[in-house]
Structure formats: structure tokens, C-alpha cells
Structure 1
Amino acid sequence: MSGDAALSVQGDDAFASTVLPRRDAHDDDLDLPFRRAGRAPRIAIVHEWLQVNAGSERVLEQLLLCFPDADLFSTVDFMAPKDRAFLKGKPVTTTFIQKLPAAKKLFRHYLGLMPMAIEQLDLSAYDIVISSNHAVAKGVLTGPDQIHISYVHSPMRYIWDLQHQYLRQAGLGWSLKAIYVRWLFNKMRLWDFSSAQHVDHFIANSRYIARRVKKAYGRPSSVIHPPVDVTAFTIGETKDDFYLLAGRFVPYKRADLVVSVFQADPSRRLVVVGDGPEAARVHAAAKGASNIEFRGSVPKAELVDLMQHARAAIFAAEEDFGIAMVEVQACGTPVIAFGKGGALDIIDTAEDAAPTGILFEEQTVDSITDALTRFDARADAMSPDTCRANALRFSEESFRDRMHAFVRETTGAVV
């Protein structure tokens, strides 16, 4: 699928109704230097920080494939040699935080300096700036002859709507340190909002994040879902009689809740993959139930095999997007997920067509138990081929096509 048809986005939110932004009247009259000179635009890509190769780095990898001649900037670059092959040797320009004491291990502790640091990057030589933002990257300074497009993974959760949850989990009450953190977050919110007003176009990675951008910054967003390497997954030949719970054991994932559901229903088998700071809590929720099997952290090949053969996979978290859900669907496996966040963009629950999963309304034992019952009633309608076809909407190729189309539409550049 290509063109406008490939770029439509589900949902009736006015600020997330299409991936192609409506141009203002003056946009057609922009006399940008690269247009005037009849040359290709000079492009800069600004990444948050380079430390591990995770979700936002998948987006960066595809941006570099989209715009191979772009120059790359980041607050810091401490990525290990074994993880940086996707950069293809491209040099990275960093900020002064790179050289601060203990920055390699503690650069996040310099959060209060990051707004100033990101503003010191000199991008005046570029026509188009693309920032990959979940903290400060969108704060780079640009001028009237430049177009700044910001791809937002999420506004900073810990300074906006999840501040209170973050402070509780960090055990910060009203000590002097806690008062300082609250003061810092207040200052960061002011800067975060202000810097957002200087971005020309926002892209959100899901309709949920588009709503968060609208709430935090008062700005509309187009939606381009993050890239997923669906080619790394194939449909399993058979389905076994078990459900799969896989992910890092951290509080918001609610793995303990899912385990509790199966502990109360010994007729259903659950295979649990993962580890993390909540491991003891998750194991305790099983109460030694024989129908729950803990595998710990497993090699990717084993995880893919479990994805292929599970009756369904269960996700109880409110995710910004949820790449793992797409990977499960690419294996031809239905998903049972909490019906908020990115799951609403991924799971097709169509009543009049072949669904690819079930959504539950509350993060409670009763709600998940009800979802399992509803899944039993509709499982035969969820074919592996339909699940995989649904996942293909989020392919890396699709992401690149949409990014190219977006840049062409918003800048007039031939890229």
C-alpha cells in the first residue's frame, strides 16, 4: 500500500486523523534556501542519547536508512561497539554532557543540564532537522529558514502526568532531595512546553501519544507508528494449549496481576518469560501453582518459538505503543491486552470481521478473567494469517515510506 491510502490513521481525533498534515496557507510560499538553490536539503537527525540499542534506536536506524546523508547529533554517545552496527560508522556529534564527571554511568543525573546542552548544538547549517524525542531532543534551536520535525516516542512521563507515580516508586516523600526533584520537574515542564512551541511539525508514535502531546504541549500531531522488523517472525505450524506472558518485570507491566489470574484458574496454563526488579512479587503471585511455568530470561529464538505456539499472549500494561504485541501478531498469535494506550492502534477487535485479539477495560483480575472467557468464544475466528497480516501494517518498509511522504509533504523536499 502506498500514497495517501497507506498513510491514513484510524480514529476520529482531529489532531491524529491523518499522517499527512494539512498545510497552512503560507506554507506553499515558503522560500527555503534549498528550494531557492535547487539543491537537496541538508538534514540533521537529533537523537536523545546513545547508550543501549532499544526501541527508540529502532526508529533511529530507520531514519538513517531514510536519510543516509544526514548528520547525527545526540546529548551523549556511550553505546558499546557491539551495539552500534546500525549506525554504519556514522560519526555522532555530542554535547558537553559527554565530558562531565561519571557521565558514562550517570548521564541521566544531569537531566537538569540537558535543556541547556541540547540548545548548544549548532544546527544552523541544516535545512531540515528531525528529532527523535522522549526527553529533550526536540529542544534544539532552529531558525525561520529551517523545518523542524519531531518524532515523539512520549513526552517526559516523569515530569508530566506520571510525576506522582514516579515519586512514589522512587520513595521520594518530602525530604530535601524530594523538594529539589519537584522543583527541577517544575522547571523542566516550563522548558518542555516552551521548546515544543518551536517545533514545526510533530509526529507521534501512536494515537495515545498524540493525545499526550496535545495535552502537554497544546500541539497537534500526525501519527506514524514505529517500525517493527516483522520479517524476523514467522507463523508457527501449530498452537499449543498455553498462554504467554513475556516482558520485563517492572511495576507498570502488571505481570503479577496476570499471574494472579492464572493462579486462581488452574484449568489454564501460563508460561512466563522475563525478569526484573519485580521478579519476587511476580513469583509470589503464583503461590506455587503447577499451571504456571517460569522460564526466566530466554534466548530470542526460544521466545519466538513460544510466541509462535502460544494460544494467545497477554499484555496488562498501558503501553505508549507496544512493539512486542506486533511481534506476537507477526507470529500469527492473537493478543489479549489492556484496552488503553498503543494496544488500541494494534489489536483489531472487529465484531463483523476476523479479529486479532481481545481487549479488557480494567487492570483487574475480574476484567482479565472476563477477557479470557471472551477469547474462548472467539478464538476460532482469529486465524494466524489474519494476525500476521495485521502486523505487516507496522513493517520497517511501511515506516520508511510514511516518513518519506511526511517530509516531502511538509518541506517540499525530494528525498
Structure 2
Amino acid sequence: MKRPRRVAIVHEWLVTYAGSERVLEQMLAVYPDADLFAVCEFLPPDERRFLGGRPVQTTFVQRLPLARSKYRGWLPVMPFAIEQLDLSAYDLVISSSHAVAKGVLTGPDQLHVCMCYSPIRYAWDLQHQYLRQAGLGWGPRGLAARWLLHKLRDWDARSANGVDEFAAISEFVGRRIDKTYRRDSTVVYPPVDVERFTPAGAREDYYVTASRFVPYKCVDLIVEAFRDMPDRRLVVIGDGPQMPLVRSRATPNVTLLGHQPFPELLRWLRGARAYLFAAIEDFGIAPLEAQAVGTPVIAYAGGALPETIPGLDAERPCGVLYDAQTPAGIRDAVRRFEREGDRITADACRENAERFAPDRFRAAFETWVERAWDAFEARRSRGLPARGEAELGTLVGGR
């Protein structure tokens, strides 16, 4: 069967080497000859290595005033901007999307597959939460934001029709894709750098959490939970706009270290009794990095975390999942871990994390794209529409 000659990969925006960029890095390893596109690209020189020297073709947003420092402020024009990328010369278009990248325009003789990190969360189910956190009520600014998000939902739903096949980064995101776009998806879990996060050293008598201090991460809840456990020590790594709130809730048994370089983060993860996590995540890389060093995880059982953390009811548990996203719920989970956590082994945690190694992601991602391409070519040879019945399921994750 004919293979795609020209491949384009469309990423959202390139401003830092973070979660979705780590996925993009592995996509580029699978398709090293692909051309790369993005809304804008402002990567610092020391974070560009993963691009392998390839150029990035950008939209007019790249040249707008203050785009380098305030690129998110140009979100209202990004749907229009992404539609201006001319991809007509490509056989296969892969969008790497959590906002507008999937909105590129393609034709009937092109296959468009989307690696979807999530439909636009702040425009759909999390709109009210984001508006509250931004302090946008029902005044003029709040009404303008609500109208903008309303129009963004219209565009987002319409542009989903231009995608032939979706991949979701978790079953949780797959359910959001179904709810938002009424489309099926294949689960392809993102890669975790298990070679960088390796076990070493002995356990010490403290718990650890590491995160950006933003509202949805709920670091303040973890810190508050230890207020009523003065005999237990918590180490908190990270920084962000909620640092004053977190600091105000810290008691003497809580150590706030701020941002730490990677060697220090690794040292604290390796030595902890357990890693604490309270956020609702679409995937959740940090809890898997903790498991990669052999550290158990105590996490809120929301979002995708039940997919990646085998709880105490599993044959080989790797952590404790709790149902109440409150300080009391966290305290109960810590106490349960101390009662029953001897069933959790470092080997089990490490082996679970290895299910998400980069080589497994690359194999699953390539399999998904090739299946979509083969089905596309078979339908096209019979004069049928590009979209048909997908071969759905989970392609990576040890299922």
C-alpha cells in the first residue's frame, strides 16, 4: 500500500519544552522528515535541541505586538491564524492539539489525524472554573470573556469535523472528546522519561509533592492537610502565583523549597516515603515520574490518574487513591498508606512507569497512524469518504 510521501506536523505554540513538547519530540523521532508548523515559536535557545535543527513555519501571530511575552492574549485570532497555514502539498497531516492546532484546513485526498491532549478545557467543561480563578465575573470583562469562549466553542466543534481520526492521551480525555465532539478516539498514552527518573538510595521519613503553584494543582490542600499531622514531615517543591497562599498555610512540619534544579528534585523524589498529588489531570506525568524512581503515590482519584496508578485493590499496587479532594481526604489517604502501604514495592512502581516509556509511545503512535493511513488508502481506492470505522482501543499502557 502506498505510504505518505510528505508529512506535516502541526503543534500549538512552541514557547517552552514542557509536556506536549515532549510528545512532539517523540512524534518527530517517528517522522524525522516531517515539516513542522506552529501558531508561533519563541523557544529559548537552550530548549530548542529537541527540534533537531529543523525550522518551524509559523502564522502571522509570530509578528503581532507583544506576541513573545503575551502570546496567549492573541487567542481570539488563533483559530483564524491556524486556518491560514497552507498544507495542501502534504499527504498526511498530524496535529498536536490542545487548543487550535487541529483546526488546520485539509482536503479530501489528505489524511488528518489529531493527537488530542484535550478539547479546549477553558472553553468547555472547565469554563466556569477558569473564569472564577481569573476573577472574571459578570462585569464587562467577564461578559466579553464569556462571549469569546462561546464563539471559540462554535469554532472548535466545527473544526473537529476536519479531523479524520483522533487519538486521546487517556481514557479520561477520550470521554471528553466523545462528550465535546461526539467522536471516537484511540488511547495513546504520552511518553514518560523513565531513563532520567531512576531509583537510587534509601527511603527517609518524609512525604514530598512537586508542582507548579496554580489553583488546579491544589498544593494548598496538601499543605493544609499536614497542619493536623504535625508528627509527619512534608517537603514541597515548586513555585508559582499561589506561593503566598501556600506559605500562609504552612506549619513547621512543612518545608517549602521553591523551585529546585533537576538533581535536587530527583534526590527528594527518591528519598520520600510517598509522593502526594491532589490535581485532576488529563494524564499526569509527575506521578509516573515518582513511580519511575520507585516511590509510591498518594493521589486524588480524579481525571486519568486511576488509569496510571494501580491502587491498593490491584494485584501489584503502586499507591493509594482517595475520593475526597479535601485536606481531610488527603489525611485519610496518608493514614491508609501507613497502615497498608507495605504491599507497595519499589519494583512494582518502576515496572508500572515503564509501561509509558518513550519507545512504547513511539511504537503505539506509529501503529495508530499507520492503521489510519491504511484504512484511508483502502477507502480512497474504493472511492469512499476518508473517514470510516476506526480500529479503536488502547495502544499503549500495558492493557
Aligned partners of 1:236 and 1:267: how far apart in 2? 26
Matched to 2:369, the amino acid is V
**Structure 1 position 199 matched with structure 2 position 163:** yes
Q: Distance in 2 between matches of 1:192 and 1:155?
A: 8
Residue of structure 2 equivalent to 1:9: none
Equivalences for 1:6-405 in 2 at 5 Å? 35=1, 38=2, 40-286=4-250, 289-349=251-311, 351=313, 353-405=315-367
- Compute the TM-score of the two structures, normalised by the length of structure 1: 0.88
Aligned to 2:80, the other structure's residue is in SS state helix
Q: CA deviation at 1:345?
A: 1.4
2: distance between equivalents of 1:143 and 1:238? 57
Distance in 1 of aligned mates of 2:314 and 2:120: 38
Cα distance in 2 for partners of 1:318, 1:249 equals 14
CA distance in 2, matches of 1:305, 1:89: 32
Distance 2:30 2:3 in 1: 18
Number of aligned residues: 375
* Whole-angstrom CA distance in 1 between matches of 2:82 and 2:185: 22
Q: CA deviation at 1:107?
A: 2.0
CA drift at 1:412: 2.1
Q: Contact 2:169–2:190 (CA<8 Å) still a contact in 1?
A: yes
- Which amino acid counterpart does residue 309 of structure 2 have in structure 1? I
Note if contact 2:7-2:34 (Cα within 8 Å) is conserved in structure 1: yes
Distance 2:73 2:225 in 1: 38
SS of equivalent residue, structure 1 residue 249: coil
Equivalent AA in structure 2 for residue 140 of structure 1: V
Residue 78 of structure 1, CA deviation: 1.2
* 2:368 alignment partner in structure 1: 406
Other structure's SS at 2:340 match: helix
Whole-Å Cα distance in 1 between the matches of residues 275 and 71 of structure 2? 36
**Matches of 2:190 and 2:207 in 1, distance apart?**
26
Q: Residue 312 of structure 2 contacts residue 319 of structure 2 at CA under 8 Å; is this kept in 1?
A: no
Can you list the C-alpha shifts for 1:161-190, whole angstroms capped at 9, x where unaligned?
111111111111222222221111111000
Q: Which residue number corresponds to residue 7 of structure 1? A: none
Deviation at 1:352, TM superposition (A): 5.3
Separation (CA, whole Å) in 2 of partners of 1:264 and 1:39: 61
Amino acid at match of 1:120: Q
Q: What is the distance in 1 between the residues matched to 2:247 and 2:64?
A: 40
Cα distance change, pair 136–40 in 1 and its aligned pair in 2 (3 A) = closer
Partner Cα separation in structure 2 for residue 103 and residue 365 of structure 1: 40
Using the size of structure 2 for normalisation, the TM-score is 0.91
The percentage of counterpart residues that share the same residue type is 52
Q: Secondary structure at the match of 1:237?
A: coil
Taking the aligned partners of 1:211 and 1:199, their CA distance within structure 2 comes to 17
Distance in 2 between residues matched to 1:186 and 1:111, nearest whole Å:
13
Aligned-pair Cα RMSD in Å: 1.3
Cα deviation digits, residues 347-381 of structure 1 (max 9, x gap): 01153522000100011122112111221122211
2:387 counterpart residue number: none
Counterpart position of 1:14: none
SS in structure 2 of the partner of residue 172 of structure 1:
coil
Distance of 1:315 and 1:52 partners within structure 2: 23
| Structure 1: tracts of 5 or more residues without a match | 1-34
